């Protein structure tokens, strides 16, 4: 039974629930792959609970995450918004090769809609910028796909302000997808201002920093090297986790006095930054889904928010987001 809808937000002109569901971890990069039937049930519970925005990509799995999401949302496809992505060559070196040539974009779209069991994509993101293909050509190709009815909206991932503006001049950008959380605050430097000026929404991936901002991961946590990108990321090394625990302490203390969990405080803080920010925390557990959704019903008054932000800003984060700058390393959520 469909429950009460969540408050909505605008990504450009596209209206979505104020929090979405990132589906990657149901198939990829999170140490284990849960039972498919359980994940379909989880996605449908998210929809019944008010979430209408689901994020995936061909590279998650690869391919199987799109198939999972397509099967899960089939009964209510017209009622939800789906985003998927192009930009990588899918081979045994997943993520090492970029390809945003127009013919490749079209090929990915044709294959993605089949896996998603649909005939259109709500938001098509370029997963990572391809230096070999001018962004204007990429935007022009997506513009044509929009005209043809295969795509409804265009998005970019992890690009700078200059690239965002160049693409937006050819085909209006609906959303920029970038990592943003109390631990990763780079978008505050210039991207948030540009998005606000241009009317572009920000889809915040890893809003809980791949579970670091839950308190469930500590220096003793072991990741499966066969299916978990966190094992090679600097912030997930034992010493960095210990050093960054100050952030967890701040979130916990703040939440304890307000009946909120660590994760909920992190999400409420993020939602308070700008009205066009839509976090897409991922989970494979129903309890965590409900925990994340409950965060959308809480608000901090301005004094509380300023106090919390000041405390969070005093923590110097140890460890970079990625160990280097190769395509494979930035293709990790």
Instruction: Calculate the CA 284 to chain-centre distance.
Output: 15
- Tokens 């700058």 belong to 325
Pairing type for strands 121-126 and 81-86 reads parallel
3-state SS, one letter per residue, for 33-89? CCCHHHHHHHHHHHHHCCCCEEECCCCCCCCHHHHHHHHHHHHHHHHCEEEEEECEC
Q: Which of 60, 180, 236, 254 is catalytic?
A: 60
- Mark whether 254 is an active-site residue: no
* Distance separating the N- and C-terminal Cα atoms of the chain: 32
Q: Which of 116, 128, 120, 169 is nearest to 145 (CA)?
A: 120
Q: Which of 105, 159, 163, 101 is nearest to 128 (CA)?
A: 159
Q: Which of 238, 292, 233 is nearest to 260 (CA)?
A: 292
DSSP state at residue 319: S
Contact call for residues 283 and 294 (beta carbons, < 8 A): no
Catalytic residues: 60
């Amino acid at each position: 039974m469909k429950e009460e809808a969540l408050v909505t937000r605008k990504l450009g002109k596209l209206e979505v629930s104020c929090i979405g569901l990132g589906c990657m971890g149901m198939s990829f990069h999170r140490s284990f792959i849960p039972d498919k039937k359980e994940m379909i049930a989880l996605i449908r519970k998210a929809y019944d609970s008010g979430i209408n925005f689901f994020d995936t990509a061909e590279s998650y799995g690869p391919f199987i995450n799109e198939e999972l999401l397509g099967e899960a949302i089939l009964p209510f496809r017209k009622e939800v918004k789906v985003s998927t992505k192009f930009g990588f060559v899918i081979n045994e070196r997943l993520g090492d090769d970029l390809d945003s040539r127009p013919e490749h974009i079209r090929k990915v779209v044709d294959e993605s809609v089949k896996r998603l069991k649909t005939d259109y994509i709500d938001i098509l993101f370029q997963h990572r910028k391809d230096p070999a293909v001018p962004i204007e050509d990429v935007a022009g190709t997506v513009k044509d796909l929009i005209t043809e009815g295969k795509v409804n909206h265009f998005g970019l991932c992890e690009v700078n302000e200059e690239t965002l503006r160049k693409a937006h001049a050819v085909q209006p950008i609906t959303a920029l997808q970038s990592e943003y959380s109390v631990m990763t605050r780079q978008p505050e430097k210039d991207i948030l201002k540009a998005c606000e000026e241009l009317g572009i929404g920000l889809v915040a991936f890893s809003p809980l920093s791949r579970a670091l901002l839950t308190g469930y991961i500590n220096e003793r946590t072991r990741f499966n090297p066969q299916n978990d990108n966190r094992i090679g990321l600097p912030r997930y090394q034992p010493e960095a986790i210990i050093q960054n625990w100050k952030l967890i302490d701040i979130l916990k203390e703040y939440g304890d006095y307000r009946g909120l969990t660590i994760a909920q405080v992190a999400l409420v803080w993020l939602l308070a930054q700008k009205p066009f920010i839509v976090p897409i925390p991922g989970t494979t557990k129903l309890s965590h889904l409900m925990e994340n959704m409950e965060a959308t019903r809480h608000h901090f008054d301005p004094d509380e928010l300023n106090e919390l932000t000041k405390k969070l800003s005093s923590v110097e984060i140890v460890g970079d987001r990625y160990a280097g700058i190769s395509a494979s390393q930035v293709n990790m959520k």
